[in-house]
Amino acid sequence: CHPTFLAFALICEVSLLRAIMDGIPPLKDKRLIIKDLIFEKVKVRLYQPKTSTTGQRRGVLYFHGGVGRFGSIRKRHFFWTRAPLSRYDHTETLLFPCRYRLAPEFPYPTQFHDCLTATIHFMKTAQDYGVDPARIIVCGDSSGGTLTAAVAQALVNRKDVPKLRAQILIYPFLQAADFNLPSYQQNAKIPVLIRERTLILGLKYLNKDISAVNILLKGSHISEERRQKYQKWLSADNIPHEFKMRGYTPPGPPAPYSEEIYKLAKPFLEPLFSPLLCEDNVIAQLPETFILTCEYDVLRDDGLLYKKRLEDHGIKVTLCHLEEGFHGTIFLAAYSKVVTFQSGIKGLEKITKFLRLM
Protein backbone atom coordinates (compact mmCIF):
# COMPACT_ATOMS: atom_id res chain seq x y z
CA CYS A 1 0.00 0.00 0.00
CA HIS A 2 1.41 3.42 -0.98
CA PRO A 3 2.65 5.50 2.02
CA THR A 4 0.65 8.56 0.89
CA PHE A 5 -2.57 6.57 0.93
CA LEU A 6 -1.71 5.16 4.35
CA ALA A 7 -1.00 8.64 5.65
CA PHE A 8 -4.39 9.88 4.46
CA ALA A 9 -6.07 6.87 6.03
CA LEU A 10 -4.26 7.54 9.31
CA ILE A 11 -5.39 11.18 9.36
CA CYS A 12 -9.00 10.02 8.98
CA GLU A 13 -8.44 7.32 11.59
CA VAL A 14 -7.00 9.75 14.13
CA SER A 15 -9.91 12.13 13.66
CA LEU A 16 -12.39 9.31 14.09
CA LEU A 17 -10.67 7.89 17.15
CA ARG A 18 -10.51 11.30 18.78
CA ALA A 19 -14.22 11.80 18.21
CA ILE A 20 -15.04 8.34 19.59
CA MET A 21 -12.84 8.67 22.67
CA ASP A 22 -14.00 12.19 23.47
CA GLY A 23 -17.55 10.94 23.16
CA ILE A 24 -17.15 8.28 25.85
CA PRO A 25 -19.12 9.67 28.82
CA PRO A 26 -17.45 9.77 32.24
CA LEU A 27 -18.14 6.42 33.87
CA LYS A 28 -19.74 6.66 37.29
CA ASP A 29 -18.40 4.30 39.93
CA LYS A 30 -19.85 4.36 43.42
CA ARG A 31 -16.57 3.08 44.85
CA LEU A 32 -14.52 6.03 43.59
CA ILE A 33 -14.12 9.74 44.14
CA ILE A 34 -13.33 11.28 40.74
CA LYS A 35 -11.80 14.74 40.42
CA ASP A 36 -10.23 16.77 37.62
CA LEU A 37 -6.99 18.42 38.74
CA ILE A 38 -4.23 20.58 37.30
CA PHE A 39 -0.59 19.67 37.92
CA GLU A 40 1.48 22.69 36.82
CA LYS A 41 -0.90 23.48 33.91
CA VAL A 42 -1.17 19.78 32.96
CA LYS A 43 -4.63 18.24 33.23
CA VAL A 44 -4.95 15.02 35.23
CA ARG A 45 -7.87 13.12 36.68
CA LEU A 46 -7.84 11.60 40.15
CA TYR A 47 -9.51 8.26 40.91
CA GLN A 48 -9.59 7.78 44.66
CA PRO A 49 -11.22 4.84 46.46
CA LYS A 50 -13.93 5.94 48.90
CA THR A 51 -12.94 3.16 51.27
CA SER A 52 -10.83 4.48 54.12
CA THR A 53 -7.37 3.16 54.87
CA THR A 54 -5.18 3.41 57.95
CA GLY A 55 -1.95 4.21 56.12
CA GLN A 56 -0.74 6.00 53.04
CA ARG A 57 -1.66 4.63 49.63
CA ARG A 58 0.37 4.02 46.52
CA GLY A 59 0.03 6.48 43.62
CA VAL A 60 0.03 5.54 39.94
CA LEU A 61 0.56 8.10 37.16
CA TYR A 62 -0.79 6.72 33.91
CA PHE A 63 0.22 7.83 30.40
CA HIS A 64 -2.10 6.66 27.64
CA GLY A 65 -1.02 5.43 24.21
CA GLY A 66 -2.09 6.81 20.84
CA VAL A 67 1.30 7.82 19.38
CA GLY A 68 0.94 11.27 20.92
CA ARG A 69 -2.00 12.08 18.62
CA PHE A 70 -5.11 10.59 20.20
CA GLY A 71 -6.35 9.15 23.47
CA SER A 72 -8.33 10.55 26.36
CA ILE A 73 -8.82 10.48 30.11
CA ARG A 74 -12.30 9.08 29.49
CA LYS A 75 -10.84 6.09 27.69
CA ARG A 76 -8.40 5.37 30.49
CA HIS A 77 -11.15 5.93 33.04
CA PHE A 78 -13.16 3.14 31.43
CA PHE A 79 -10.12 0.90 31.19
CA TRP A 80 -8.85 1.31 34.73
CA THR A 81 -12.16 1.38 36.59
CA ARG A 82 -13.15 -1.84 34.81
CA ALA A 83 -9.73 -3.32 35.47
CA PRO A 84 -7.13 -3.31 38.27
CA LEU A 85 -8.22 -0.24 40.21
CA SER A 86 -11.73 -1.34 41.07
CA ARG A 87 -11.97 -4.99 40.09
CA TYR A 88 -9.02 -6.12 42.19
CA ASP A 89 -7.87 -3.24 44.37
CA HIS A 90 -10.48 -1.26 46.28
CA THR A 91 -8.44 0.69 48.80
CA GLU A 92 -4.73 0.93 48.16
CA THR A 93 -4.28 2.77 44.84
CA LEU A 94 -4.81 6.36 43.75
CA LEU A 95 -4.73 6.64 39.97
CA PHE A 96 -3.77 9.83 38.11
CA PRO A 97 -4.20 9.52 34.31
CA CYS A 98 -2.35 12.38 32.64
CA ARG A 99 -4.10 14.29 29.88
CA TYR A 100 -1.00 15.44 28.07
CA ARG A 101 -1.48 17.71 25.08
CA LEU A 102 -1.70 16.03 21.70
CA ALA A 103 0.13 16.43 18.39
CA PRO A 104 -0.04 17.92 15.82
CA GLU A 105 -1.66 20.86 17.62
CA PHE A 106 1.11 20.61 20.22
CA PRO A 107 4.22 19.27 18.48
CA TYR A 108 6.50 16.56 19.86
CA PRO A 109 8.08 16.52 22.46
CA THR A 110 5.32 18.46 24.26
CA GLN A 111 3.80 15.13 25.27
CA PHE A 112 6.93 14.05 27.14
CA HIS A 113 7.34 17.40 28.87
CA ASP A 114 3.72 17.37 30.04
CA CYS A 115 4.12 13.88 31.49
CA LEU A 116 7.40 14.78 33.19
CA THR A 117 5.94 18.01 34.60
CA ALA A 118 2.89 16.21 35.99
CA THR A 119 5.07 13.49 37.52
CA ILE A 120 7.43 15.91 39.26
CA HIS A 121 4.51 17.94 40.60
CA PHE A 122 2.87 14.83 42.00
CA MET A 123 6.09 13.53 43.53
CA LYS A 124 6.47 16.82 45.39
CA THR A 125 2.85 16.90 46.57
CA ALA A 126 2.05 13.19 47.01
CA GLN A 127 1.42 13.48 50.74
CA ASP A 128 -1.33 16.04 50.07
CA TYR A 129 -3.29 13.17 48.52
CA GLY A 130 -2.46 10.62 51.20
CA VAL A 131 0.13 8.92 48.98
CA ASP A 132 3.42 7.60 50.30
CA PRO A 133 6.18 9.37 48.27
CA ALA A 134 8.13 6.10 48.31
CA ARG A 135 5.26 4.27 46.56
CA ILE A 136 4.88 6.27 43.35
CA ILE A 137 4.66 4.28 40.10
CA VAL A 138 4.60 5.43 36.48
CA CYS A 139 2.73 3.32 33.95
CA GLY A 140 1.79 3.44 30.29
CA ASP A 141 0.73 1.35 27.31
CA SER A 142 2.14 1.39 23.75
CA SER A 143 3.49 4.91 23.09
CA GLY A 144 2.43 5.68 26.66
CA GLY A 145 4.99 3.04 27.61
CA THR A 146 7.55 5.07 25.65
CA LEU A 147 6.61 8.14 27.69
CA THR A 148 6.76 6.13 30.91
CA ALA A 149 10.26 4.84 30.17
CA ALA A 150 11.46 8.31 29.10
CA VAL A 151 10.05 9.94 32.26
CA ALA A 152 11.68 7.32 34.47
CA GLN A 153 15.03 7.94 32.74
CA ALA A 154 14.68 11.71 33.09
CA LEU A 155 14.19 11.40 36.86
CA VAL A 156 17.16 9.25 37.78
CA ASN A 157 19.60 12.11 38.49
CA ARG A 158 17.13 14.52 40.11
CA LYS A 159 17.74 15.25 43.79
CA ASP A 160 14.61 17.34 44.38
CA VAL A 161 12.10 14.47 44.17
CA PRO A 162 11.87 10.98 45.70
CA LYS A 163 12.87 7.92 43.72
CA LEU A 164 10.20 6.15 41.72
CA ARG A 165 9.06 2.87 43.25
CA ALA A 166 8.53 1.22 39.87
CA GLN A 167 7.64 1.60 36.20
CA ILE A 168 5.06 -0.49 34.34
CA LEU A 169 5.51 -0.78 30.57
CA ILE A 170 2.61 -2.37 28.67
CA TYR A 171 3.64 -3.47 25.15
CA PRO A 172 5.90 -0.39 24.86
CA PHE A 173 7.53 1.09 21.77
CA LEU A 174 11.18 1.51 22.83
CA GLN A 175 13.40 1.88 19.77
CA ALA A 176 13.39 3.09 16.16
CA ALA A 177 16.79 1.83 15.08
CA ASP A 178 15.92 -1.69 13.90
CA PHE A 179 12.63 -2.61 12.24
CA ASN A 180 13.87 -6.08 11.28
CA LEU A 181 13.92 -7.72 14.70
CA PRO A 182 12.22 -11.13 14.89
CA SER A 183 8.92 -9.71 16.14
CA TYR A 184 8.83 -7.15 13.32
CA GLN A 185 9.34 -9.93 10.79
CA GLN A 186 6.92 -12.39 12.36
CA ASN A 187 4.10 -9.90 12.92
CA ALA A 188 4.65 -7.55 9.97
CA LYS A 189 1.09 -7.96 8.70
CA ILE A 190 -0.74 -8.73 11.94
CA PRO A 191 -3.27 -6.10 13.08
CA VAL A 192 -3.60 -3.77 14.78
CA LEU A 193 -0.04 -2.53 14.51
CA ILE A 194 1.51 -3.71 11.26
CA ARG A 195 5.19 -3.01 10.62
CA GLU A 196 4.79 -0.24 8.02
CA ARG A 197 2.00 1.44 10.00
CA THR A 198 4.19 1.59 13.10
CA LEU A 199 6.80 3.66 11.30
CA ILE A 200 4.28 5.91 9.54
CA LEU A 201 2.60 6.68 12.86
CA GLY A 202 5.99 7.61 14.29
CA LEU A 203 6.82 9.86 11.36
CA LYS A 204 3.45 11.61 11.61
CA TYR A 205 3.95 12.07 15.35
CA LEU A 206 7.26 13.81 14.69
CA ASN A 207 5.76 15.74 11.75
CA LYS A 208 8.26 14.17 9.33
CA ASP A 209 8.01 13.28 5.65
CA ILE A 210 6.55 9.79 5.33
CA SER A 211 7.91 9.20 1.82
CA ALA A 212 11.08 7.76 3.35
CA VAL A 213 9.25 4.98 5.18
CA ASN A 214 10.59 2.13 3.04
CA ILE A 215 14.18 3.36 3.27
CA LEU A 216 13.87 3.69 7.05
CA LEU A 217 12.49 0.17 7.33
CA LYS A 218 15.70 -1.03 5.70
CA GLY A 219 17.85 0.84 8.23
CA SER A 220 19.48 3.48 6.03
CA HIS A 221 19.33 5.98 8.91
CA ILE A 222 21.90 4.00 10.92
CA SER A 223 25.60 4.62 10.26
CA GLU A 224 28.14 1.84 10.68
CA GLU A 225 29.43 3.51 13.85
CA ARG A 226 25.97 3.65 15.38
CA ARG A 227 25.20 0.14 14.20
CA GLN A 228 28.21 -1.16 16.12
CA LYS A 229 27.16 0.78 19.23
CA TYR A 230 23.56 -0.41 19.12
CA GLN A 231 24.48 -4.00 18.32
CA LYS A 232 25.15 -4.88 21.95
CA TRP A 233 21.65 -3.66 22.87
CA LEU A 234 19.60 -4.65 19.81
CA SER A 235 21.16 -7.87 18.60
CA ALA A 236 18.68 -10.67 17.97
CA ASP A 237 21.15 -12.83 19.89
CA ASN A 238 19.84 -11.10 23.03
CA ILE A 239 16.35 -12.48 22.38
CA PRO A 240 15.66 -15.99 23.75
CA HIS A 241 15.56 -18.73 21.13
CA GLU A 242 11.90 -19.62 21.73
CA PHE A 243 10.87 -16.23 20.38
CA LYS A 244 12.69 -16.79 17.08
CA MET A 245 11.15 -20.11 16.09
CA ARG A 246 8.12 -18.64 14.29
CA GLY A 247 9.18 -17.37 10.87
CA TYR A 248 12.38 -15.45 11.57
CA THR A 249 15.22 -15.08 9.05
CA PRO A 250 18.37 -13.24 10.13
CA PRO A 251 18.57 -10.11 7.95
CA GLY A 252 21.21 -9.80 5.27
CA PRO A 253 23.77 -6.99 4.91
CA PRO A 254 22.47 -3.61 6.10
CA ALA A 255 21.21 -1.05 3.61
CA PRO A 256 23.66 1.70 2.57
CA TYR A 257 23.81 4.55 5.03
CA SER A 258 22.22 7.85 3.98
CA GLU A 259 23.19 11.06 5.77
CA GLU A 260 20.03 12.69 4.41
CA ILE A 261 17.81 9.96 5.87
CA TYR A 262 19.70 10.13 9.16
CA LYS A 263 19.00 13.86 9.44
CA LEU A 264 15.32 13.18 8.81
CA ALA A 265 15.21 10.40 11.40
CA LYS A 266 17.61 11.84 13.99
CA PRO A 267 14.84 12.42 16.61
CA PHE A 268 13.98 8.72 16.24
CA LEU A 269 17.28 7.80 17.86
CA GLU A 270 17.09 10.12 20.87
CA PRO A 271 16.19 8.49 24.21
CA LEU A 272 12.96 10.51 24.46
CA PHE A 273 11.67 8.56 21.44
CA SER A 274 13.83 5.42 21.79
CA PRO A 275 14.43 4.80 25.53
CA LEU A 276 16.10 1.48 24.73
CA LEU A 277 19.01 3.48 23.25
CA CYS A 278 19.72 5.39 26.47
CA GLU A 279 23.24 5.24 27.92
CA ASP A 280 24.24 2.62 30.49
CA ASN A 281 24.77 5.10 33.32
CA VAL A 282 21.07 6.01 33.19
CA ILE A 283 19.77 2.47 32.67
CA ALA A 284 21.67 1.36 35.79
CA GLN A 285 19.68 3.76 37.99
CA LEU A 286 16.16 2.87 36.88
CA PRO A 287 13.55 1.52 39.31
CA GLU A 288 12.05 -1.95 39.50
CA THR A 289 10.19 -2.66 36.28
CA PHE A 290 7.19 -4.62 35.03
CA ILE A 291 7.12 -5.28 31.28
CA LEU A 292 4.19 -6.81 29.42
CA THR A 293 4.76 -8.19 25.92
CA CYS A 294 2.47 -9.93 23.43
CA GLU A 295 3.49 -12.70 21.06
CA TYR A 296 1.57 -11.26 18.10
CA ASP A 297 2.92 -7.72 18.33
CA VAL A 298 5.70 -6.06 16.34
CA LEU A 299 6.82 -4.36 19.59
CA ARG A 300 7.35 -7.62 21.47
CA ASP A 301 11.14 -7.62 21.08
CA ASP A 302 11.48 -4.01 22.25
CA GLY A 303 10.21 -5.20 25.62
CA LEU A 304 12.38 -8.31 25.65
CA LEU A 305 15.52 -6.35 24.80
CA TYR A 306 14.78 -3.70 27.43
CA LYS A 307 14.32 -6.46 29.99
CA LYS A 308 17.80 -7.77 29.21
CA ARG A 309 19.39 -4.30 29.38
CA LEU A 310 17.81 -3.63 32.75
CA GLU A 311 18.73 -7.03 34.18
CA ASP A 312 22.31 -6.68 32.90
CA HIS A 313 22.54 -3.66 35.21
CA GLY A 314 21.00 -5.40 38.20
CA ILE A 315 17.50 -3.93 37.87
CA LYS A 316 14.72 -6.28 39.00
CA VAL A 317 12.32 -6.98 36.12
CA THR A 318 9.00 -8.84 36.10
CA LEU A 319 8.08 -10.01 32.60
CA CYS A 320 4.54 -10.94 31.65
CA HIS A 321 4.49 -12.44 28.17
CA LEU A 322 1.05 -13.15 26.72
CA GLU A 323 1.47 -16.07 24.31
CA GLU A 324 -1.92 -15.41 22.70
CA GLY A 325 -1.73 -11.64 23.10
CA PHE A 326 -1.74 -8.89 20.48
CA HIS A 327 -1.20 -5.14 20.59
CA GLY A 328 -4.10 -3.54 22.45
CA THR A 329 -5.29 -6.72 24.14
CA ILE A 330 -5.15 -5.19 27.64
CA PHE A 331 -7.52 -2.36 26.78
CA LEU A 332 -9.89 -4.68 24.93
CA ALA A 333 -10.04 -6.97 27.95
CA ALA A 334 -11.97 -4.21 29.71
CA TYR A 335 -14.84 -4.81 27.28
CA SER A 336 -15.35 -8.36 28.56
CA LYS A 337 -19.14 -7.97 28.51
CA VAL A 338 -18.97 -7.75 24.73
CA VAL A 339 -16.12 -10.09 23.90
CA THR A 340 -13.66 -11.88 26.14
CA PHE A 341 -9.90 -11.75 25.54
CA GLN A 342 -8.40 -14.18 28.01
CA SER A 343 -4.87 -12.96 27.29
CA GLY A 344 -5.86 -9.41 28.25
CA ILE A 345 -7.56 -10.58 31.45
CA LYS A 346 -4.43 -12.52 32.36
CA GLY A 347 -2.36 -9.40 31.73
CA LEU A 348 -4.59 -7.29 33.98
CA GLU A 349 -4.27 -9.83 36.76
CA LYS A 350 -0.47 -9.86 36.45
CA ILE A 351 -0.34 -6.05 36.55
CA THR A 352 -2.51 -6.03 39.65
CA LYS A 353 -0.37 -8.66 41.36
CA PHE A 354 2.71 -6.54 40.69
CA LEU A 355 1.00 -3.40 42.01
CA ARG A 356 0.08 -5.15 45.24
CA LEU A 357 3.76 -5.72 45.96
CA MET A 358 4.61 -2.04 45.61
What separation in angstroms does the CA of 309 have from each of 97, 114, 264, 302, 354? Answer: 28, 27, 27, 11, 20
CA dihedral (186, 67, 146, 140) in degrees, to 10, reads: -100
Catalytic choice (72, 86, 142, 258) = 142
Catalytic choice (114, 178, 297, 302) = 297
Q: What is d(CA 268, CA 8) in angstroms, rounded to the nearest whole number? A: 22
Q: Please confirm, yes or no, whether 297 is among the known catalytic residues.
A: yes
Q: Please confirm, yes or no, whether 280 is among the known catalytic residues.
A: no
Q: What is d(CA 347, CA 93) in angstroms, rounded to the nearest whole number? A: 18
Q: What is d(CA 279, CA 157) in angstroms, rounded to the nearest whole number? A: 13
Catalytic choice (77, 121, 321, 327) = 327
Q: Please confirm, yes or no, whether 223 is among the known catalytic residues.
A: no
Evaluate whether 247 touches 147 at the Cβ level (below 8 Å). Answer: no
Which residues are catalytically annotated? Answer: 142, 297, 327
